[in-house]
Amino acid sequence: MRVCMFCIVFLWGTGLAWGLPATGDDREPASILTLPADPISFQPGPGSDLASRYCLMCHSAEYVYMQPPHSREHWMEIVNKMKTTFGCPISNEDMGPLADYLVTQNSLQPSPSAQHVQRDDWMETPGQPLTQSGDPQKGKAIYERHCVTCHGPGGKGDGPIGQALIPPAANLTFLGKQSDQTILDTLRNGRPGTAMPAWKNDLNALELNHLLSFLRTLAP
């Protein structure tokens, strides 16, 4: 007993125990961080696809919904700052429509950030079961609208934005081994720690399945 006590004291004294997860009421190991997926996305409307494409790669939609009312001029300044200062690859022609959309979101009452969003509320949409056969042609159209700027036309992660990300956009031709469920989960909830946003509020279950069908043509 005395020897054991000495061992513990000795280990602590040399600092070998230091850096290990603290004991007690810690809820998970101290050196692991598992962050939650975004609870909300941008509300559907003209320009919401632009906000999803450009804003969500770096931050959650709450950044917009917590803001007090700003004028359109002010939102243009913010869009410009995101483009020129923070390096968001917003094309010149998308700047105005994006600012227009942000103005509409900024005046929503109540703000969506105040709402509690069910993580899997989309599953309860009537007539839209979890997995179903999608149409790859419809999926291609969705892919070209939302995905191609990062993942590239062939899905190799070589889109104009995708290569500028840390880590770079995923090569979707390697998705073959992943289950439908895994891919749908990533599409819905995004991948924390990367630019991959959650699409569950932009795309409904049917659209996600169309997209999945198209992704399968990239990664048979």
Partner 1 sequence: MNEKNPGIDRRQLLKTSLALGLCALTPSELRANDDSTVTLPFERGRRPLVAFPQKRPLMVMTTRPPQLETPFHIFNEDIFTPNDAFFVRWHLANIPQEIDVNTFRLTIRGRVNQSLSLSLHELHTQFEQIEIAAVCQCAGNSRGFFQPRVPGGQWGNGAMGNANWKGIRLRDLLHRAGITGDAVQVRFDGLDQPVAQATPDFRKSLPLNDALQEEVLVAHSMNGKALPMLNGYPLRLVAPGWYATYWVKMLNDIEVLNQADQNFWTTQAYRLPADPCHCVKPGEALTNTVPIGKLPVRSFITNLEEGRTIPGGEPCTIKGIAFDQGYGIDRVLFSVDGGQQWQSARLGKDFGDFSFRSWEAQFIPKPGHAYALQSLAINRIGESQRFSARWNPSGYLRNVIETVNIQTS
Question: Which residue ranges make up the site for partner 1 (CB under 8 A)?
Answer: 14-16, 18-22, 24, 26-28, 30-39, 57-60, 62-63, 65-70, 74, 78, 85-89, 110-111, 113-114, 116, 161, 164-166, 192-195
CB of 128 to partner 1, least distance (A): 26
CB of 204 to partner 1, least distance (A): 22
Round to whole Å and give the CA distance between 123 and 98: 29
Smaller CB separation from partner 1, 47 or 112: 112
Smaller CB separation from partner 1, 196 or 218: 196
Tell me the C-alpha to C-alpha distance, in Å, between residue 13 and each of 2, 6, 7, 8, 187: 16, 10, 10, 8, 48
CB of 159 to partner 1, least distance (A): 13
Round to whole Å and give the CA distance between 17 and 135: 56
CB of 149 to partner 1, least distance (A): 12
Is 202 within 8 Å of 176 (Cβ atoms)? no
Is 143 within 8 Å of 210 (Cβ atoms)? no
Smaller CB separation from partner 1, 17 or 130: 17
**H or E, element range at 73:** helix 72-84
